[in-house]
Structure 1
Amino acid sequence: MDLFHGVLPFVQVAEAGGFRAAAARLGITAAAVSKSVAKLEAELGVALLERSSRHVALTPEGAAFLERCRAAIAQLQAGREQIAGAQREPHGTLRVTLPPVLGRSILPLVARLSARYPRLSIRLLVTNRLLRLAEEEIDVALRMGPLDDSSRIARALRTPRWITVAAPAYLASRGTPTSPADLARHECIKMVLHGKAVEWSFRAGKDAIDVVTPSRILLDQGDLLIDAVLHAIGIAQVLDFMAMPLIEAGVLVEVLAPFATEGPPLHALTPARRASVPRVRVFLDALGDVLGRGGHGARRSPTTRPAAG
């Protein structure tokens, strides 16, 4: 005997008051509803409904069985909603790859998501290597610069500015540069990406130009670069999100602000099949709060040269 055969048609007939109304609710014919209920009665060995040409009524046994059926259906619906809700809640391990320059900025987001979603684990792969998302089972890749793969979903986060920063103590001892040419007399700490020192960029009129500055210290870790500036070792050019909290706190100072220019665009990439996974969706939505939004929504990434990070 099929435990659930005929139960839903029977409940619909009892609640709708007839076979035709029940059939309309279920999207089947009245004859199919009648046949299903009759088979249920035969299996139970008792009449559940009293039928006449004008109406349908419950027998005493039918009324008792209806209450049991309603309770069972309510429990089943509650179970389905519980399971569906659990699937909608972010869970599992979120694997994110990002360049070192973004590490310090992402940590507040990791802390917030970890506290909010106890079933979510986050693994950060901090590297300048361009990892293959499919082979490394990456959920999200944060990339700086133009994109090179049209098979992934890319969300434009923002286009940051290159800003030049120093500690107040350094400026007090070495003076404050007022033009890029003044940097020749300063200690310049440079960022290294993919094995090469990043030359500093400044705005000259409507154009951006690279300026070769003297440098004795090269660092490929964004947090170390900021720490070096905080220790008054020299001046550095960084992406604005790396230093803005420290500038607002007064521990760093932006210099040469009139010459600041745009940096590389920042995107979040994810394989198309993972874009709607809850753990990926909440991470992407929260990125805007941490790094700022340079664009809304998602788009297919264009085919251009590789991105940085």
Structure 2
Amino acid sequence: MKRRQLIVPGAAALVAPSIARAQGKFPDRPIRFVIPFAPAGPTDIIGRMAAEKLSAILGQQVIVDNKAGAAGSIGAVDVKNAKPDGYTLLCAPSSTHAINPTAFVKPAYDAVKDFTPIASICVNPLVLVARMDMPDTVMGLVELMKKNPGKYSYGSSGAGSIINLAGEYFKREVGGMDVEHIPYKGSAPALQDMMAGQTAWMFETFSTTLQLHKAGKVRILAYAYSKRAPVAPEIPTMIEAGVKGYEAYTFNLILGPANVPQPVVDVLDQAARRVMKDPATIKFLEDIAAVPTTDTTPQLTAKFINDEIAKWAPVIRAAGIRIE
């Protein structure tokens, strides 16, 4: 995914009046925004966009600090242990706040108690993608898998990833399928092997697969969200395709350490709401096939985290996923 120009004409409307000047207190120095993955990935791209927008509104630089490792846990722990003054924030993805709390044998943090919810940026719905010789509908694929137990396999970017969990969730929601999971070290080799015929299908991000779909190299069967994607409205949702209630996505949230003072949370909340209602922000996210959270609040963010943990915990346990 190419790095985009993040400051656009009209962004001056976000700058004045600056919340920092109006408040006269927080923030009075730069804020560190920890991204728990390496540069150039989806979380980094979205996090850098949010950092630049927040910098304009708050009147202080929001500095991105990439701290990758342990499925995001290294960055999450860094923020957990920071002083709760609002000057250290986390760009939290699904791995740190939906998967790790259950998948890790000894989690390094409590995803709820150790953090202060501030805002939600977006969700990034996955798609069910299959190689070209597979059926062209979700139910057709399910029927083929069930008629041929043990014959087919599906790939993922790694054991315990959201891609893996989406596959296990799919198998469960269609009443069970005998389909082996093949974990890879990343999405690229998993997609390559699927196109080469080694696996039959997988879940993946829309932005990674849409061009392959248009080029006829893979077939996107459905979009794993409640509404169709504006960038490809011809593709049905998983629910429309016959899998009742099925949604699977990554996400990006803004969190602080536990016990950030309420006045500081209020300033960050106000800034985040302005970012998420900015037309340029919405367009940026929609262009990369993400769904902006335009109604963000700390309360809704807290509920979202609890709901995601509750959703994925039984899937993780049923699949026997345990990360040391």
Task: Give the TM-score taking structure 2 as reference length.
Answer: 0.44
Which protein shows a greater Rg? 1
Question: Which has the larger strand fraction?
Answer: 1
